[in-house]
Amino acid sequence: MEENMNPEKNSTGEMKKPAAAYDYDKIKEEILNDLNNNQKYKSFFDEYNQMSIRRFKEYYSGKKAFAVYHGDLYEGVENNMTLMFREMAENHIWRIQQRKLFDLQCRWRAEEISLKGVTITADFKIWEKRIDDCPFITPISQEEFDLYMQFASESNYDDVIDEEANEWQEYEDFKEHYFNEESENYFTQRPCWYEFYENKTGLNSLHLLDDVRGRKEEFYCNLAREEDRKKYEETNKGKPVSTKDGRPEFDHLDKDVLDIFMEKFEDAKIINKMNAFENGTKYLDDIEFEQAMQILKYADPFTPVEFNEDWRAGIVNAAGEYTRRKLLEELPKAYRNYLFRLKNGLAFELYDKHGNDFIKEIYVDLILRGRILNGEPADFNF
């Protein structure tokens, strides 16, 4: 959905996305840097528990960046529905590669294969964000694309869109979910696409592979953690037990608290954008209905709306089915565009390629220290 209703076209005849579409990470980084380094916030932040302030900064930088990026949309700018469905299809193409990466992760953890560019399990979370650059995944074949088209054709709207599917390489959670769907030990359930894929290919057997590499890493990590625990106890031996930060928590999920911060540090324009975004997403039922009405406003005149005792639910269902049909129309175009870019060596237009690097840094430190503590070389050859 973009403000420009007549965007420029590229050599393939596809509409170009504005450069701003790939600036979300940059906007968020600038906001986070401002929160971390601008002295105007210091006295305000000093009044609160610093751990809660760290959480607030991460939350608020994302929220503000999203509002700045999408603000005009929620302030009433007319939507470009064609571009919305095209972008949706382009994003769905990469779900095929995410599943292939997950298959490789299962086999790598079982030590069946080695992968150039993977040294520890955390690397798979890095490649999840950089899926378009992943060097060890084969290009999407026609057969693989046809299977995804079959999934989109045979599944209902909720399963195809699967809005909760934003984590693709959560090995432990997916394995726990596979063996025990009722378990409370996982935070992220398997995407519907993964379940369809496994049923059609029989590759659900990958869940049966032993996590050899994961256990080795955990062994070394535990050695390092135990050393940290002992050092902490030794350093603090005889010292009075430190009290927790007694300052109040900064509850960034409390709208009143957030309003205080915004009124103190933001200008009216940003506040209006953020409030507009907040109001537009306040209640799930309302936003579903409003989005459905917006979609149907631009839908084909003869789009069916099936009878439903709850007419609002009928509207939402009709919009969902229309969205699924439009996605099916756009997927082949997205695949052709994918092949064109692949053939001509053109970069893919993905963004948000960061976010998991710090996790890897933590595990690298723990594993290498654990190796040394176990009398082994400080490398990943284990």
Model pLDDT for residues 262-279, shown as the tens digit of each residue: 999 999 999 988 888 776
pLDDT at 70: 67
Q: What is the mean pLDDT of residues 171-179?
A: 90
Whole-angstrom Cα distance, residue 177 to residue 185?
A: 8
When comparing pLDDT for 103 and 322, which is higher? Answer: 103
Domain ranges in the chain are 27-78, 80-232+302-382
pLDDT at 17: 42
pLDDT for 290 beyond 90: no
**Residue 286 pLDDT grade (very low, low, confident, very high; cuts 50, 70, 90):** low
When comparing pLDDT for 295 and 232, which is higher? Answer: 232
pLDDT at 235: 85
The answer to whether the beta carbons of residues 197 and 203 sit under 8 Å apart is: yes
pTM: 0.66
pLDDT at 281: 58
With the C-alpha atoms ordered 281, 283, 288, 290, is the resulting torsion angle positive or negative? Answer: negative
Q: Which residues contact 212 (CB under 8 A, 6 or more apart)?
A: 109, 110, 111
Model pLDDT for residues 246-258, shown as the tens digit of each residue: 888 888 778 888 8
